Amino acid sequence: MSLFRQIWLTVMLSALIAFAGSFVVSIVTAKGYLEQQLFTQSTDSAASLALSMSQQKKDLATSELMVSALFDNGHFSLIRYTDTKGKVIVERINTTPPDKVPEWFVSLFPIVTSPATAQVSDGWMQAGTVTIVAHTRFAYQSLWEGSIKLFAWILAAGCFSGILGSVVIRRIRKPMASVVDQANGICEYRFVTIDEPKTPELRSLAKAMNAMVLRVKAMLQEQAARIQQLRNEVSQDALTSLANKNHFDNRLISALNDDDVPDSGMLLLVRLFDLATTNQQLGRTKTDELIKRVGQKIQSATGAGNNYITARLTGPDFAILLPGTTEQEGMALASQLIKSLEELYRQGFAPQSNVAHLGATIYAHEQTPESLWARTETALAKAKDIGENSAFLEKVAIADSSEAGKDWVKDILDGLKTHRFATASFPVVDIEGHALHQELMLRLKDKDTSQLWAAGTFMPHASRAGLIPQLDLETVRLGISMLEQQHGAVAINIAAESILQPDFCDQLLVLLNQNARLVKQLWFEVNTLGYQSELQALANLSSKIRPLGCKLGIEHFGRHFNSIPMLHEIGLDYLKVDGSFIRNIDQHAGNQNLLKAICVIAKSVGIATIAERVETQSEWLMLKSLGMDGLTGPIVTTRQS
């Protein structure tokens, strides 16, 4: 029983006992008082009657008249006149029961009236005795009415004290509830501070809890900052803050293999002209300045908020990966970039008018990085041949061009209508290899060939048409129907742009509520870019769906170079750490440090960590020693098949 219920019950019970006690005592007292009054009335009447009769003749008629006169005009249940031998001479009895008074009341509180006697004399001689018993009828009525009034009053007082008790309890309850809520929050790794209540006992408790929460928060912030720092150290070029070669290579492998990324795009390679000479002419500091400027130009040319990856590979080499870009878009970006690099000479940062060349090529899934790099080198050589500050695209024949020219938006809308979607599942296991869940990827069945198109193929089109939320909901539906047929859990990817739409969240909640039985088997993971608005939306979503029992996580954690989110403020169950930090983890001390730090902070706020794109057994072993909780990737998929 809750504390408040106990307090309330105690208050009500003690009030009840007090009131019931006072009620009974009042009635019993009143009853005693009435009995006494009735006896007094009887005694007085007996004395008066005896006195009157003593003065009169003692014949039967007179005696009868005198007794009747008193009886008929008074309130008596018995008047009896007996002679000296005890023989009854006159007797009058009235047994009318009290009206308007229920019988149970009469039997519960019987009013006992004692008979009163007085002696009648005839001159010096004794004539007899009068016995009088007063009638209880009016006493009962009086007692009954008094009891009703008392009961009404007690009832009113009881209600009032009940209301008063409730108000007082509510006053304590509110701050108490917030303290309890805070304590529960801490159990769930939600660290919130609360307003200090006015009640002194609760205030010191809240103060202590707030202080603890603030300390924990500060500690977590410190750890988050450390992760940020480690992440930058391992994946960024120190000079330009672009990605470094290792990170770019890992991301390129993702782009060429992952299911949920566009299956084609462009790779641009930018090389500063004759950096060795420049270095000699300008000196190291100015050369560094030039490189930094180039980095900025590249960054501003590619813009933010997209999935483009920019990197500085080695001394003079910069690379840009443009997933999902068409040839036209890519070359437009390339020529714009070359133009902006040319300006560096006019602005005096570059020593000669020939600043850089750009080689470009188109890539498609399943191609190797080596072949790509070879093509860009060829393109770069051809660009050099063209002249100062020029770009060249090395074209390749793309094997399957049936998707080109297809009206994807129309096809997606049609697919939604006719439910032409399916899912492919990828197993995710815990660190010991036991199944955790199946990660679902959306597939679109071709209308004609019944070929399955991967998400990466149609998602860019859907994104441009704003159809992502609908596709995400379709995936959820497919996941639920899958759960209806088989055991185990499924994980469903939700795009960051979906959770930003309130409509999507409402529809998702409707779906979850309709399938409450299966909700516990659903894991949702969001690919967040790390913007504040997204994190806010994620926290909102978390507060709505996690209480239902489903799990919520972030996928590709660390991929984007925005700030690491404050994990404890969102309310998450798991993180899937981006494959770019996992690849060759057994040989990369920097990534090991980063993962170790992520594991520590995640554990401290109750979040599980899962590694993406694990390929080798030694990576797995390393992940285990670093404290990761689960993994997914080729090694798991091949092991299962």
Partner 1 sequence: MSFDIKPSGLLANRLLKAGSAIVLILLTVSLAFGFDFDRLQKTLIQKFGASNVRLLQDWKTLLNDTKTVPEPDKLKQINEFFNRKITFSDDQVVWGKADYWATPLEIIGKDAGDCEDFVIAKYFSLKEIGVPIQKLRLTYVRAKIGGPSSTITQAHMVLAYYATPESEPLVLDNLISDIRPASRRPDLAPIFSFNSDGIWAAGSTAPASNSVDRLSRWKDLLLRMQAEGFD
Instruction: List contacts with partner 1 (CB under 8 A).
Output: 26, 29-30, 32-41, 43-44, 46-47, 50-51, 54-55, 84-85, 114-119, 121, 123-126, 129, 131, 138-139, 142-143, 146, 149-150
Sign of the four-CA dihedral 204, 210, 214, 220? positive
Diameter over CA atoms, the chain: 164
C-alpha neighbours within 13 Å on the C-beta side of residue 60: 5
**Nearest Cα to Cα of residue 494 among 532, 445, 455, 448:** 455
Nearer to partner 1, 44 or 411 (CB): 44
In the complex, minimum distance from the CB of residue 104 to partner 1, in angstroms, rounded to a whole number: 20
Nearer to partner 1, 125 or 238 (CB): 125
In the complex, minimum distance from the CB of residue 114 to partner 1, in angstroms, rounded to a whole number: 4
In the complex, minimum distance from the CB of residue 12 to partner 1, in angstroms, rounded to a whole number: 25
DSSP 8-class letter at 188:
T
**Nearest Cα to Cα of residue 269 among 413, 354, 381, 155:** 381
Nearer to partner 1, 33 or 160 (CB): 33
Nearer to partner 1, 126 or 514 (CB): 126
Distance from CA of residue 599 to its chain's centroid? Answer: 23
In the complex, minimum distance from the CB of residue 194 to partner 1, in angstroms, rounded to a whole number: 51
Asked if residue 638 lies in contact with residue 619, where contact means CB atoms within 8 angstroms, the answer is no
Burial of 231 (0-12, 13-18, 19+ CB in 10 A): buried
In the complex, minimum distance from the CB of residue 25 to partner 1, in angstroms, rounded to a whole number: 10
Nearer to partner 1, 56 or 199 (CB): 56
Identity at 9, one-letter amino acid code = L
Q: Cα separation of 462 and 476, whole Å?
A: 17
Nearer to partner 1, 43 or 279 (CB): 43
Q: Going by C-beta distance under 8 Å and a sequence separation of 6 or more, which residues neighbour residue 157?
A: 19
In the complex, minimum distance from the CB of residue 150 to partner 1, in angstroms, rounded to a whole number: 6
Q: Going by C-beta distance under 8 Å and a sequence separation of 6 or more, which residues neighbour residue 310?
A: 242, 243, 295, 298, 299, 302, 318, 319, 320, 321
In the complex, minimum distance from the CB of residue 116 to partner 1, in angstroms, rounded to a whole number: 7
Tokens of 369: 């990085």
**Nearest Cα to Cα of residue 522 among 437, 444, 605:** 437
In the complex, minimum distance from the CB of residue 132 to partner 1, in angstroms, rounded to a whole number: 10
In the complex, minimum distance from the CB of residue 146 to partner 1, in angstroms, rounded to a whole number: 5
In the complex, minimum distance from the CB of residue 126 to partner 1, in angstroms, rounded to a whole number: 5
- 611-627 core/surface letters (b: 16 or more CB in 10 A; e: else): bbbbbeeebbebbeebe
Phi and psi (nearest 5°) for 444?
Answer: -110, 125
Sign of the four-CA dihedral 167, 173, 175, 177? negative
In the complex, minimum distance from the CB of residue 145 to partner 1, in angstroms, rounded to a whole number: 9
Nearer to partner 1, 153 or 603 (CB): 153
- 507-534 core/surface letters (b: 16 or more CB in 10 A; e: else): bbeebbeebeebbebbbbbbbbbbbeeb
